[in-house]
Amino acid sequence: MNLENICEAVARLAKETGKEIKRYKKENGLKVEVKGRHDFVTQVDKYSEKLLVEGLSQILPEAGYIAEEGTRTDRGEHFNWVIDPIDGTTNFIHDVPPHAISIALMQDGKVVIGVIYEICGDELFYAYKDGGAYLNDEHIHVSPVADISQSLISTGFPYSNFDRLDDYMKLFNHFTKNSSGLRRHGSAATDLAYVAAGRFDAFFEYDLKPYDVAAGAIIVQEAGGRIADFKGKDDYIFGKEIIATNGLIYEDFLEATKKAFGNK
Ligand code: IPD
Ligand code: CA
Ligand code: CA
């Protein structure tokens, strides 16, 4: 298994699909369906996922799928593709950047490839296990900022699950007072890619799904960053909570997170 070659093929597919859905949206417009509370899907999300599943099934036929829109649901014995056909659908509907295609490959439960194509900026982020992280073929690295007071922090506001809103607001409050600023860009995959590229120093959000974070997680790690769940453990792909940092501010960031979320 040559991860580098597979990653290259996935990156090409993500970029082609990004260009194709831009064209498709222009020609066909959007048909928006409501999936859940404040949770939308368009026919373009479904079209994107169909193209991705077709392409990925040729790259690695034995792999199974965890795909947001459920185009395929069969699981592989060792390999699974984790696909978000458009991350940032609300932005996409409103013609607001960023929005991205996010694809990860998991091998025996561990992410080994991550590809994020941010469509508006034509930026292709990718990484494979032990191969480093890249943006449009240039190596990327997390930021050198060592102090939260000088950090730019990205987050996703709770929008449908408000169970932990009070704890979330405690952390929001803390970073509002103790960092250089907070941003809400509306695409968790892009948030993670930006941490990897050193644009944001850290990111946090709860209630994210595997397809929101799997690709971004390996890109951040291969760029030298450090990721965890809110307890400082490794359950950030399926555990619905993630902090991603440049590594240098990890301990302080985790301490603030634990304090706000009461280690629940
Ligand atoms: C959403 C985006 C958003 C995050 C949400 C996700 P979607 O993904 O990543 O930034 O805050 O939690 O669900 O629905 O646009 O694929
Ligand atoms: Ca998503
Ligand atoms: Ca999506």
Index of the ligand 1 atom closest to the CA of residue 211: 16
Amino acid at 184: R
Query: Which ligand neighbours the alpha carbon of 187 most closely?
Result: 1
Q: What is the pLDDT of residues 135-145, one digit of tens each?
A: 998 999 999 99
Residues in the chain: 264
How many angstroms does the Cα of residue 173 sit away from the middle of ligand 2? 25
Which residues have CB atoms below 5 A from the ion given as ligand 3?
68, 84, 86
Query: What is the whole-number distance in angstroms between the Cα of residue 63 and the centre of ligand 2?
Result: 21
Ligand 1 in reach of 225 Cβ (< 6 A): no
Segment 227-231 mean pLDDT = 98
- The answer, yes or no, to whether residue 264 has pLDDT greater than 80, is no
In short, whether 42's Cβ falls inside 6 Å of ligand 1 is no
Q: Is 208 in the pocket of ligand 1 (CB under 6 A)?
A: yes
Peptide bond into 85 cis (omega under 30): no
pLDDT of residue 247: 98
Average confidence (pLDDT) over 245-250: 98
With H, G, I as helix, E, B as strand and everything else as coil, classify residue 58.
Answer: helix
Task: Name the token pair of 117.
Answer: 């194509």
4-17 residues labelled b (16+ CB within 10 A) or e (exposed): eebbbbbbebbbeb
DSSP state of 128: E
Question: What is the per-residue pLDDT across 157-214, written as a single tens digit (0 to 9) for each?
Answer: 998 889 999 999 999 999 999 999 999 999 999 999 999 999 999 999 999 999 999 9
State mean pLDDT over 79-94. 96
From 34, 45, 160, 187, mutation site for ligand 1 pocket: most ligand atoms within 8 A of C-beta: 187
Q: Do 100 and 189 contact (CB within 8 A), yes or no? A: yes
Distance CA 124, CA 135 (A): 5
Q: ∠ at Cα 97 (257, 73), nearest 5°?
A: 75
Of the listed ligands, the closest to the CA of 186 is 1
**Residue-level pLDDT at 57:** 98
Q: How far apart are CA 32 and CA 262, in angstroms?
A: 38
Over residues 64-89, mean pLDDT = 97
In what side-by-side order are the strands of the sheet with 181-183? 181-183, 152-155, 202-206, 241-245, 226-228
| Amino acid identity at 211 | Y
From the CA of 210, the nearest ligand is 2
Q: Is the CB of 187 under 6 A from ligand 1?
A: yes
Cβ–Cβ under 8 Å, residues 190 and 218: no
210 lines ligand 1 (CB under 6 A): no
Instruction: Characterize the bridge pairing of strands 79-87 and 100-107.
Output: antiparallel
What percent of the chain stands above pLDDT 90? 91
Ligand with minimal distance to 85 CA: 3
Classify residue 2 by burial, with Cβ atoms within 10 Å: 0-12, 13-18, 19+: exposed
pLDDT single digits (tens) 18-62: 999 999 999 988 888 887 877 778 899 999 999 999 999 999 999
* pLDDT on residue 263: 61
* Torsion sign over Cα 20, 22, 184, 42: negative
Which token pair is 224? 């030298």
How many H-runs (helices) and E-runs (strands) does the chain carry? 7, 14
Give the tens place of pLDDT for each residue, 107-161: 999 999 999 999 999 999 999 999 999 999 899 999 999 999 999 999 999 988 8
